[in-house]
């Protein structure tokens, strides 16, 4: 194990750039020196800080509080990287993360004046790119919902049809839902999934509408979600009791799997703590690699990392006694 890096800072997310199989981006948030993004091209031996980190325009009255998520761009745009921040904003770099520019279209969306932060703040935590369509992308913002662009970010539309917001007077508002994590089926870009504050959902039509697939899970609440790298309709979640008690459901730190796009769920628990486990998994804390069979990894708020080499059938401790694990990412090298 190498590190620690960025001591005294909170690293909300680390993203491995599969395009060049060597670059790692880190969303580093310092209590003192603010948020920024670092890049390593040698697996963490050295890091370089962004020359111009994500920042709102001077005079906007807004201040980047934290960088929440980093997403490498399309394979055809090797120097493009995206970042999501709190308060909810999308940034784009076209120079491998050296400098970052805000997406003003999303920043000035007509709905913005009505965005109300949740417990995690207005964090833009999910950025999903359609691999078959350079112009189509999605973002997820806590307590606001899912947005979709069909023109490479020039304009955005809310996409929350049939997603519940139990904490609002209107159960199915146009926006205001609290999406916790948004992922895409890697083999079928029309299919997306979200772990929401109020359920787990699937879209079969590129986010135009959503289907509730929470039935079979011990809770509708949770944070992380990971998709299988190759098998369509297969994904994983870690349910928690609820917003009132943020520990894993039934005090068992287990992973639930669906291989039927959410029609049925199966508990994966062999080798995981199943009694008195007052643990939780952050939204970036669940990951899969691209190996065959796929490996799965789950990090906990209490500093454990569990891993499985057989798609979740068996788990073992990979690391423990770490600080809270905010992010788990797997790098698959050829």
Partner 1 sequence: MKLNERFPGFWSLLVDEDGSLRKYVNIFVNEDDIRNKAGLATTLKGGDRVHIVPSVAGGSE
88 binds partner 1 (CB under 8 A): no
32 binds partner 1 (CB under 8 A): yes
Token code pair at residue 280: 């939780």
Pick from 21, 42, 43, 52: which binds partner 1 (CB under 8 A)?
A: 52
46 binds partner 1 (CB under 8 A): no
**Binding-site size, partner 1 (CB under 8 A):** 21
Q: Considering only CA atoms, give the Rg of the chain.
A: 18
117 binds partner 1 (CB under 8 A): no
57 binds partner 1 (CB under 8 A): yes
CB of 260 to partner 1, least distance (A): 43
SS3 content of the chain, % helix, strand, coil (to 5): 5, 40, 60
What is d(CA 170, CA 25) in angstroms, rounded to the nearest whole number? 39
124 binds partner 1 (CB under 8 A): no
Q: Which stretch binds partner 1 (CB under 8 A): 27-35, 79-87, 180-188, 191-199?
A: 27-35
30 binds partner 1 (CB under 8 A): yes
Q: Please report which residue ranges of the chain form alpha helices under DSSP H.
A: 104-107
- Residues 6 or more apart whose CB falls under 8 angstroms from that of 171 comprise 164, 165
Closest to partner 1 by CB, 79 vs 151, is: 79
What is d(CA 314, CA 271) in angstroms, rounded to the nearest whole number? 6
36 binds partner 1 (CB under 8 A): yes
Closest to partner 1 by CB, 2 vs 32, is: 32
**Cβ atoms of residues 123 and 88 within 8 Å:** yes
Closest to partner 1 by CB, 42 vs 57, is: 57
Looking up tokens 């999501």 gives 84
What is d(CA 272, CA 239) in angstroms, rounded to the nearest whole number? 14
Token code pair at residue 170: 């209107």
CB-based contacts of 265-269 (< 8 A; 24+ apart in sequence): 265/216, 265/217, 268/236, 268/308, 268/312, 268/313, 268/315, 269/315
Token code pair at residue 305: 């990392």
Q: Site residues for partner 1, window 160-189 (CB under 8 A)?
A: none
34 binds partner 1 (CB under 8 A): yes
Pick from 39, 55, 164, 267: which binds partner 1 (CB under 8 A)?
A: 55
Token code pair at residue 160: 């929350």
Closest to partner 1 by CB, 138 vs 326, is: 326
CB of 55 to partner 1, least distance (A): 5
Instruction: Lay out the site mask for partner 1 across 63-82 (x = CB under 8 A, - = otherwise).
Output: xx------------------
DSSP states of 53-103 = -S-PPTTSS----EEEEEEE--TT-TT-EEEEEETTEEEEESSTTSB-EE-
58 binds partner 1 (CB under 8 A): yes
5 binds partner 1 (CB under 8 A): no
Pick from 6, 56, 167, 278: which binds partner 1 (CB under 8 A)?
A: 56
Closest to partner 1 by CB, 100 vs 265, is: 100
CB of 265 to partner 1, least distance (A): 35
Q: Per DSSP, what are the bridge partners of residue 258?
A: 235
Q: Which stretch binds partner 1 (CB under 8 A): 11-19, 51-59, 152-160, 314-322?
A: 51-59
What is d(CA 103, CA 125) in angstroms, rounded to the nearest whole number? 15
Chain contacts with partner 1 (rule: CB under 8 A)? 30-34, 36, 49-53, 55-64
């Amino acid at each position: 194990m190498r590190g620690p890096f960025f001591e005294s800072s909170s690293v909300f997310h680390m993203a491995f750039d599969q395009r060049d199989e060597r670059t790692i981006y880190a969303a580093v948030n310092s209590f003192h020196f603010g948020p920024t993004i670092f890049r390593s091209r040698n697996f963490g031996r050295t890091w370089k800080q962004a020359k111009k980190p994500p920042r709102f325009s001077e005079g906007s009255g807004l201040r980047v509080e934290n960088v929440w998520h980093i997403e490498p761009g399309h394979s055809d745009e090797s120097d493009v990287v995206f970042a999501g921040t709190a308060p909810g904003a999308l940034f784009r770099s076209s120079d491998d993360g050296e400098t970052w520019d805000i997406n003003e279209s999303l920043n000035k969306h007509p709905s913005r004046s009505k965005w109300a932060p949740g417990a995690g703040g207005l964090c833009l935590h999910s950025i999903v790119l359609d691999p078959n369509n350079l112009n189509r992308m999605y973002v997820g913002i806590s307590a606001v919902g899912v947005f979709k662009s069909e023109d490479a970010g020039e304009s955005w539309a809310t996409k929350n049809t049939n997603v519940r917001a139990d904490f609002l007077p209107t159960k199915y508002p146009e926006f205001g839902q609290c999406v916790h994590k948004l992922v895409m089926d890697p083999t079928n870009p029309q299919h997306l999934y979200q772990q929401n504050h109020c359920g787990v959902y699937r879209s079969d039509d590129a986010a135009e509408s959503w289907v509730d697939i929470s039935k079979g899970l011990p809770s509708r609440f949770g944070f992380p979600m990971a998709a299988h790298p190759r098998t369509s309709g297969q994904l994983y979640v870690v349910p928690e009791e609820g917003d009132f008690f943020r520990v894993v459901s039934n005090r068992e730190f287990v992973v639930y799997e669906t291989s039927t796009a959410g029609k049925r769920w199966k508990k994966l628990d062999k080798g995981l703590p199943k009694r008195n486990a007052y643990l939780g998994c952050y939204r970036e804390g669940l990951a899969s690699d691209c190996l065959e069979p796929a490996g799965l990894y789950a990090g906990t708020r209490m500093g454990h990392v569990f891993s499985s080499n057989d798609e979740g059938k068996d788990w073992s401790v990979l690391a423990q006694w770490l600080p809270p694990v905010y992010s788990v990412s797997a790098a698959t090298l050829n």
